[in-house]
Amino acid sequence: MGKVNKPVVAWVSGTCARLFKSEVQFGHAGAKSGGEMESAQAKNQALKDAGAAVPTSYEAFETAIKETFEKLVEEGKISSVKEFTPPQIPEDLNFAIKSGKVRAPTHIISTISDDRGEEPCYAGVPMSSIVEQGYGVGDVISLLWFKRSLPRYCTHFIEICIMLCADHGPCVSGAHNTIVTARAGKDLVSSLVSGLLTIGPRFGGAIDDAARYFKDAYDRGLTPYEFVESMKKKGIRVPGIGHRIKRGDNRDKRVELLQQFAHTHFPSVKYMEYAVQVETYTLSKANNLVLNVDGAIGSLFLDLLAGSGMFSKQEIDEIVGIGYLNGLFVLARSIGLIGHTFDQKRLKQPLYRHPWEDVLYTK
């Protein structure tokens, strides 16, 4: 590297470190300032010794540059160029928005949570309040899904539903796909997701369907007979009715517990009672056509919405239309699917390959 012939004006910042007794950090938290040789003073002195124009303080830097420039012009080494008006420096967007000069349309609307303050809020409730006031998981669901704080019996009911739907063994579509993906050595999220994607009309959809059909039938004032027979005509099985093992004389204990809970806490159980009337009719047809857990949850969820007095009719229609119960099932079953992923990883299971013998290869 050759010698620098151009005049150099330089300044090493950090001289104020001298003014502090103890060691002071500049820049990255971890930078450790060194001894005398590394001080800014020493560096400035070295630059001066090497011929650079070094001002006595940062404030004098501008003047030093100006003097050096004017000296070069005077000596004829450089010639001054004509001043021109610098182009307007564009303002920073956020500053321009705040000062009202620019209006930027927002592209996203969100109403359930706000993370801009010191701590996130769910429907206006700060996270720390949620902990301090002893809220449960059901209450957080209430805030984030329903945007209001439902009474504790409602959020407790939501929690019971989550517990009842959390898992249903390794053979159902969702758990099966999750197990296969976990055994392919994939990460937790991929395994969970591969299983979740099977949830829909045929797997997990019965709760949501039960709520929809019971609501429609009840609201339209159909008798159980009219409801069941109209479903039969359309070729649709009544969702929420029917069980593999349970019979009219051997009821599902889970259904009974849900009913007990509702009788104790809910102000009204009209939808559930309607579902029971439907069951009475279907039991007259076959002994296994009992009200099952899906039907109990579906009808009681309608009672929760209607009985709480916190939703308009239109809001209830919207909630049922969008399929909130589907969300409840999806959330609940995630517990099981994550559990199955952990299970396979603990067991160090190898890649799954479906046995050829179980496949009918045809045309």
Query: Does 311 contact its own copies by CB under 8 A?
Result: no
75/357 with CB nearer its own copies? 357
- Backbone phi, psi, residue 326, to 5°: -60, -40
Query: Does 108 contact its own copies by CB under 8 A?
Result: yes
* Angle ∠(9,15,16) on CA atoms, nearest 5: 140
Query: Does 125 contact its own copies by CB under 8 A?
Result: no
- Judge whether 28 counts as a catalytic residue: yes
Smallest distance from its own copies to CB 265, Å: 13
**Residues 80/73, Cβ–Cβ less than 8 Å:** yes
Query: Does 339 contact its own copies by CB under 8 A?
Result: yes
The structure tokens 């820049």 sit at: 27
User: What mask of x and - would describe binding to its own copies in positions 48 to 77, judged by CB under 8 A?
Assistant: ------------------------------
Binders of its own copies in range 3-42 (CB under 8 A):
25, 29-30
Binders of its own copies in range 194-223 (CB under 8 A):
194-203
Smallest distance from its own copies to CB 80, Å: 28
Query: Does 236 contact its own copies by CB under 8 A?
Result: no
Query: Does 277 contact its own copies by CB under 8 A?
Result: no
Cα-to-chain-centroid distance, residue 152: 23
Look up residue 18 and give its DSSP letter.
G
Query: Does 170 contact its own copies by CB under 8 A?
Result: yes
- Nearest of 345, 261, 338 to residue 304 by alpha carbon: 261
Among 53, 140, 276, 310, binds its own copies (CB under 8 A): 140
The secondary element (H helix, E strand) that includes residue 313 is helix 313-322
Smallest distance from its own copies to CB 207, Å: 13
- Backbone phi, psi, residue 273, to 5°: -65, -35
**Residues 288/242, Cβ–Cβ less than 8 Å:** yes
Query: Does 247 contact its own copies by CB under 8 A?
Result: no
Report the C-alpha gap between 111 and 124 in whole angstroms.
Answer: 10
Single out the segment in contact with its own copies by CB under 8 A; choices: 7-15, 70-78, 132-140, 269-277.
132-140
Query: Does 154 contact its own copies by CB under 8 A?
Result: no
**Residues 253/262, Cβ–Cβ less than 8 Å:** no
**Residues 306/141, Cβ–Cβ less than 8 Å:** no
Report the C-alpha gap between 162 and 328 in whole angstroms.
Answer: 7
Among 3, 82, 234, 353, binds its own copies (CB under 8 A): 353
3-state secondary structure of 122: strand
70/318 with CB nearer its own copies? 318
- Catalytic annotation, residues: 28
